[in-house]
Amino acid sequence: MTLSARIDAPPPRIPARLEPLLLAEAPRFSAAELKRRRDALAAALAEAGASHALLMGGDKRGSALQWLTGWPANTNSNLAIFTPGEQDVLLVPYPNHVAQAQVLAPDCEVIWRAEGSTAVAMDILQKRGAKGAKIAIVGNCSVGFLERIGKLGATPVDLSRSYAKIRLHKSDEEIDWLRIGCALTDLGLESLADNVKPGMNEHELQALIERGYLPWGGLTQIHFLGLTAMANPDCCVPSQLPRNRAVKAGDIIFTEIAANFWSYPGQVLRSFTVEAEPTPLYRELHDVADEMLAAVTKVLKPGATAKDVLDAADCIKKTPFTICDDLVHGYVGGYLPPIIGTHERPSGPVPDLVFQENMTMVVQPSVMTRDVKAGVQTGELYRITKTGCESLHQAAPGFRRIGG
C-alpha cells in the first residue's frame, strides 16, 4: 500500500525506502543501532566510575528513557535501569501501561508493582549489588529520590551532560527517522498556509497545523504562532500559547512548528502575509533574516566553531534590528549545544564546541525591531554534512503571501 493511497492528502516527502518505517505499527531501530546506544552509555558509565544508570522519563520528546528502550513515557515516574551485562528494566507507573510498553520496548523487562517505580528500582539495584557503588542519573529527579539512593548505600552522579554529548551526533538511522519527522513538520506548515482564512483565531490556526501531520502519525512537539497587523504591529515573536486573536487581511502570521515522529522531530519557522504584500518594514526585516540565514549556513560545516557562526551573523550590525531568540542551537534529543546568539545579543558564554558531521542544528534568525513590536521568523533544521550542511526540510522557503 502506498502512502498516497492511504488518505486523501499529499504524502510526506520522504524516500520510498522509508515508507515502511512510517507505515509500521511500531517502528523499531535495528539491533546494531540499539547496540551502539548501549555501548555509548556503557562507556559514559565507565568514564564516570558508575556501575548502573537510572534514566528518568516523563515526556514524549526524546527523553533518554525512550532513546534506550523505545518507550515514549507520557507520564511521570517512568524509569529505566541500565546495567552493562544485564537486561534493561523499564518501570512504568500504571498497570494499564504494561501491555503497550512490552510492545514498544521488547528488549526490556517491563514491570509495574503497586509499591511504585522508585521502590521497585531500589529493590532491583540492591539485588544488582549497588551498595557502595555510583549510580548515574540521566534526567530530572526529586530530592526524595536522591535520598532513597543514599539509603541504599550508593552515591548518585549526574550523567546528563554525558548523555547530551552522545546525542549531539546522529547515526544514519536517526537521520532517516528525522527525515520523516521533518516531512511531517512540513505538512503541518503547508496545511496552515493552504487553509488560513480571515476570521480564524489562533486556536483554529493550530488545529490547521495539526491536521497536516496527525493522519500520518505525527505528534505535536510545538506549534507556536504570532499574529499581528503589519500596519500597527504589537507582536514580534510567536507565542507559546494561543490567544483569541482573529486573522485579518493585512496581517502577518509567523510560526515555529515541530512535529514529532517517535521522538524525532523536525523544526521549521516561516512568516506569511495575509491577502497583502509585505509592508516596507516587514520586507526589510525578512531580507535581513534571509541574509543571516545564508551567512550562517554557509559557515556551518565540520571544523567550524561557534565564533565562526557569531562572525557570520554580524551582518545584522549594519541594520537597525536585533534578534529575539537563540540564532542556532543543537536539536533532537533535547535543546542541545551549541546555543548561539549574536555578538551583540549573546545567548551565554561562547560555547567551546567544534561542529562535526551528523550534528543537527536549528538555524532560526528571529529578526525584530528594537522596540519589540515587529518581527519575522525563518529557518529550519539542518544536518552537518562532510562539506557543509543540508536542510532536512522541503517546505517552500522565503516570505510568502497566503489567502485571497
Chain segment 21-60, per-residue pLDDT in tens: 998 999 999 999 999 999 999 999 999 999 999 999 876 6
- Out of 167, 182, 197, pick the residue that ends a domain: 167
Say yes or no: 315 and 219 in one domain. yes
Stated as kind and residue range, the H or E segment containing 323 is strand 322-323
Say yes or no: 74 and 93 in one domain. yes
- Out of 167, 189, 217, pick the residue that ends a domain: 167
- pLDDT per position as a tens digit, 122-166: 999 999 999 999 999 998 889 999 999 999 999 999 999 999 999
Say yes or no: 236 and 325 in one domain. yes
Say yes or no: 157 and 232 in one domain. no
Stated as kind and residue range, the H or E segment containing 176 is helix 172-195
Going across the sheet that includes 109-111, the strands are 109-111, 89-91, 78-82, 52-57, 134-138, 155-158
pLDDT at 14: 82
Q: Which residues have a Cβ under 8 Å from the Cβ of 35 and sit 6 or more positions away?
A: none
* CATH number assigned to the domain comprising residue 298: 3.90.230.10
DSSP state for residue 201 in the 8-state scheme: B
* CATH number assigned to the domain comprising residue 65: 3.40.350.10
Say yes or no: 302 and 381 in one domain. yes
Range of the structural domain that residue 53 is part of: 31-167
Please state, in angstroms and rounded to a whole number, the distance separating the CA atoms of residues 303 and 333: 22
- Out of 151, 167, 183, pick the residue that ends a domain: 167
Please state, in angstroms and rounded to a whole number, the distance separating the CA atoms of residues 298 and 301: 8
Q: Evaluate whether residue 15 is within a structural domain.
A: no
pLDDT at 11: 59
Query: Cell triple for residue 122?
Result: 531500589
Residue 400, beta-bridge partner list: 272
Say yes or no: 253 and 134 in one domain. no
pLDDT at 8: 46
- pLDDT per position as a tens digit, 59-83: 666 689 999 999 998 777 899 999 9
How many structural domains does the chain have? 2
Q: Evaluate whether residue 20 is within a structural domain.
A: no
pLDDT at 404: 73
Say yes or no: 189 and 285 in one domain. yes
- What residues of the chain score a pLDDT lower than 70? 1-12, 59-62
Q: Find the DSSP H helices in 5-116.
A: 19-23, 31-48, 64-69, 98-104
